[in-house]
Amino acid sequence: MKTKLLFFSLIVTLQLSAQNYQNIHNKAIFVDTHNDFLTQTMEKGFVFDSDLKGKTHSDLNRMKDGGIDAQFFSVWSDGEQLNPYAFANRQLDSLDAVIKRNPDKIVKVVNSKELLKVVEQNKIAALIGLEGGHQFENDLDNMEVLYNRGVRYITLTWNNSTPWATSAADETNPEGAKNSEGKNGLTMFGKEVVQKMNALGIIVDISHVGEQTFYDVIATTSKPVIASHSSVYKLCPHPRNLNDTQIKAVAKNGGVIQINFNSGFIDPSVEPREIVFIEKHKIEIDSLEKSGVLLYHAEESMYRKYTNESYELRAPFEFVIKHIEYVINLVGVDYVGIGSDFDGIYQPPKELDDVTDYLKITKVLVEKGYSKNDIDKILGGNLLRVFKANETK
């Protein structure tokens, strides 16, 4: 009888725990600050409001199923893109078209008041981030047009530097590009860019920027910044990640670090193993390149073709939690959030296959004893604080 009672008690406890984390997740305002689906549309023709399970990390219905309340869609192009400003506007057109077709599911918002209203209506609040300052082509008038179209953060650089700001990729490369003043960091115009963003109400995003650019931003900005999709350097020493001094500087600024899911940014063992994987399939990759396929897509196709091999390259799920907790332990729970980079990465961690899996993070945080208030902050509250602090109207 005692054994039966103990078993029954265990079942009830597990059920209550499941209800607890599901309730916490459902009641929180979940915000993901970086999703690259628009690139999938531009490069592969995928339509967001269609069923894309098995093809992408995201689609409209899966975002709803995953409990996403607010999603920043990334507008991206690399440094080789001709007319990047026009290309950025085409991506915005594609998002606007999806929203126009689905007003009962997704609505574009431009401030925190609108965001909260849309969430109350049980719709997804769509926001926009510009990944790479080269896309406004050194023209502050172009930046203002993009702001008027809904852009609410700008990642100052992608991997390529601009004439006015150097990227992490270039600052960590001895032969990397310098800014127009022949050095690393922000130029005088770069500081003007940051000030213009502050004045408009565009959040300054320091993901992808070099360390000198980072510190020039911190010295220039009058508003809290974000790292829209970056992780912790101490746990995974990749140039895209933030070191302890930078994390402390973001916290002092009142900003927030949104943890990136890319396996190579959270688990230091992944990148060396990926190099071996790519080398193993180099003949196929070279053949695809010769046929006109971009290197990026040729490599990606190997991950999709050799699924068993590529699965074993993925970081363990718990590494995402380790990065979240590292920031919390270093500077507190007010300065961390989620910036998945879904549909912009090959390899998310195991168990985080797509946008329907966010609940697993909440479950682990509950199991670790985090309070509802702290989980609310991690899932979106911290980002909303920064968003509101950057608003000018």
For 83-141, the pLDDT digits (tens) are 999 999 999 999 999 999 999 999 999 999 999 999 999 999 999 999 999 999 999 99
The pLDDT of 216-228, averaged and rounded, is 98
Q: Are residues 76 and 222 in the same domain?
A: yes
Q: Are residues 180 and 273 in the same domain?
A: no
Q: Are residues 307 and 337 in the same domain?
A: no
One-letter amino acid of 260: N
Q: Are residues 289 and 370 in the same domain?
A: no
Q: Are residues 263 and 375 in the same domain?
A: yes
Q: Are residues 74 and 129 in the same domain?
A: yes
For 133-147, the pLDDT digits (tens) are 999 999 999 999 999
Q: Are residues 180 and 278 in the same domain?
A: no
Cβ(33)–Cβ(89) under 8 Å?
no
Residue 10 in domain: no
pLDDT of residue 74: 98
Q: Are residues 279 and 323 in the same domain?
A: no
| 119 sits in which H/E element | helix 112-120
Residue 6 in domain: no
Residue 14 in domain: no
Q: Are residues 58 and 189 in the same domain?
A: yes
Mean pLDDT is lowest, of 11-20, 285-294, 378-387, for 11-20
Cβ(175)–Cβ(182) under 8 Å?
no
Q: Residue 18 — very low, low, confident or very high, per pLDDT cuts 50/70/90?
A: low
Domain boundary among 280, 296, 314: 314
Cα distances from 350 to residues 313, 315, 365, in angstroms, run: 9, 6, 17
Q: Are residues 84 and 157 in the same domain?
A: yes
The pLDDT of 283-305, averaged and rounded, is 93
Cα separation, 278 vs 296, whole angstroms: 11
Residue 377 in domain: yes
Q: Are residues 239 and 291 in the same domain?
A: no
Residue 15 in domain: no
The enclosing domain of 81 has a CATH number of: 3.20.20.140
Cβ(33)–Cβ(226) under 8 Å?
yes
Q: Is the pLDDT of residue 7 over 70?
A: no
For 318-376, the pLDDT digits (tens) are 999 999 999 999 999 999 999 999 999 999 999 999 999 999 999 999 999 999 999 99
Percent of the chain exceeding pLDDT 90 equals 93
The pLDDT of 220-225, averaged and rounded, is 98
Residue 7 in domain: no
For 51-75, the pLDDT digits (tens) are 999 999 999 999 999 999 999 999 9
pLDDT of residue 94: 98
Residue 21 in domain: no
Q: Are residues 241 and 301 in the same domain?
A: no
Q: Residue 19 — very low, low, confident or very high, per pLDDT cuts 50/70/90?
A: low
Cβ(67)–Cβ(360) under 8 Å?
no
Count of the separate structural domains present in the chain: 2
Percent of the chain exceeding pLDDT 70 equals 95
Residue 353 in domain: yes
Q: Residue 294 — very low, low, confident or very high, per pLDDT cuts 50/70/90?
A: confident
pLDDT of residue 239: 97
pLDDT of residue 9: 45
**Structural domain boundaries enclosing 286:** 268-314
Domain boundary among 253, 282, 314: 314
